């Protein structure tokens, strides 16, 4: 009888301290509207109106055929200076989505490829918009995201760049609760059976919560 009681105590202890499943989210173009700020910058600086469905095929600016090298340099400076990060507006779906994850008992990791020197600005932006998260990773380069996802056994990942999701799939295999690509004109032509396209972050969160109970 004593042994049974001890076993029950051990099991209860494991249940009490069981690690929460971790859901990872990108920031730009997932939680905040990056593209509209880039649009405004290009229009005001160069009088250029981007066609995101045809002009933009990948997210490396130097590979955009509509941009000159000078335009690319100015756009990169706009990003590195923090002007882009400072002016981004939060999506209306962001806070409800993150609140749902918290209520459902998940941990939230934000993994962004923003430059490292924008950490304080990013922390301020998250606080200003009342977005709860457990950990923030500012990795500087998108290629560094998959190793973090694998190292922390992250269960789902929401991202706007299809190439990053494909790298994650190659590095980690299919995640337990899925890989999700927020749909944009410039990623519409890419498809993979293990990557689910969604209209916005809250749609991904609803799938994560409701389809994997």
Q: What is the CATH number of the domain that holds 116?
A: 3.40.50.1000
Domain around 153: 17-33+88-210
Q: Is the dihedral of CA 161, 162, 163, 168 positive or negative?
A: positive
Are 140 and 188 contained in the same domain?
A: yes
pLDDT in tens, 25-69: 999 999 999 999 999 999 999 999 988 877 776 667 888 888 999
Q: Report if residue 108 sits inside a domain.
A: yes
Q: Average pLDDT of 71-85?
A: 93
- Whether 142 shows a pLDDT value over 50: the answer reads yes
Instruction: Give the model's confidence band at 15: pLDDT under 50 very low, under 70 low, under 90 confident, else very high.
Output: very low
Are 97 and 53 contained in the same domain?
A: no
Residues 6 or more apart whose Cβ sits within 8 Å of residue 163:
58, 59, 142
Cα–Cα distance for residue pair 93/74, rounded to 1 Å: 31
Are 130 and 63 contained in the same domain?
A: no
Q: What is the pLDDT of residue 14?
A: 44
Q: Report if residue 52 sits inside a domain.
A: yes
Instruction: Give the model's confidence band at 210: pLDDT under 50 very low, under 70 low, under 90 confident, else very high.
Output: very high
Contact 67, 56 (CB under 8 A): no
């Amino acid at each position: 009888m004593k042994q049974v009681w001890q076993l029950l105590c051990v099991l209860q202890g494991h249940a009490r301290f069981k690690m929460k499943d971790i859901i990872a989210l990108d920031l730009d173009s997932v939680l905040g509207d990056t593209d509209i700020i880039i649009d405004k910058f290009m229009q005001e600086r160069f009088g250029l109106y981007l066609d995101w469905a045809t002009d933009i095929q990948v997210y490396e600016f130097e590979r955009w055929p509509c941009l000159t090298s000078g335009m690319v340099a100015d756009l990169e400076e706009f990003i590195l200076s923090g002007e882009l990060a400072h002016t981004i507006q939060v999506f209306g779906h962001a806070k409800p989505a993150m609140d749902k994850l918290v209520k459902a008992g998940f941990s939230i990791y934000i993994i962004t490829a923003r430059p490292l020197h924008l950490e304080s600005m990013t922390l301020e932006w998250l606080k200003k918009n009342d977005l709860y998260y457990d950990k923030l990773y500012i990795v500087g380069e998108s290629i560094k995201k998959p190793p973090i996802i694998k190292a922390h056994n992250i269960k789902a990942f929401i991202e706007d760049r299809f190439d990053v999701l494909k790298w994650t799939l190659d590095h980690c295999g299919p995640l337990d609760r899925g890989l999700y690509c927020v749909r944009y004109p410039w990623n519409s032509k890419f498809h993979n059976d293990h990557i689910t396209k969604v209209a916005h972050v809250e749609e991904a969160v609803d799938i994560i919560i409701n389809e994997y109970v």
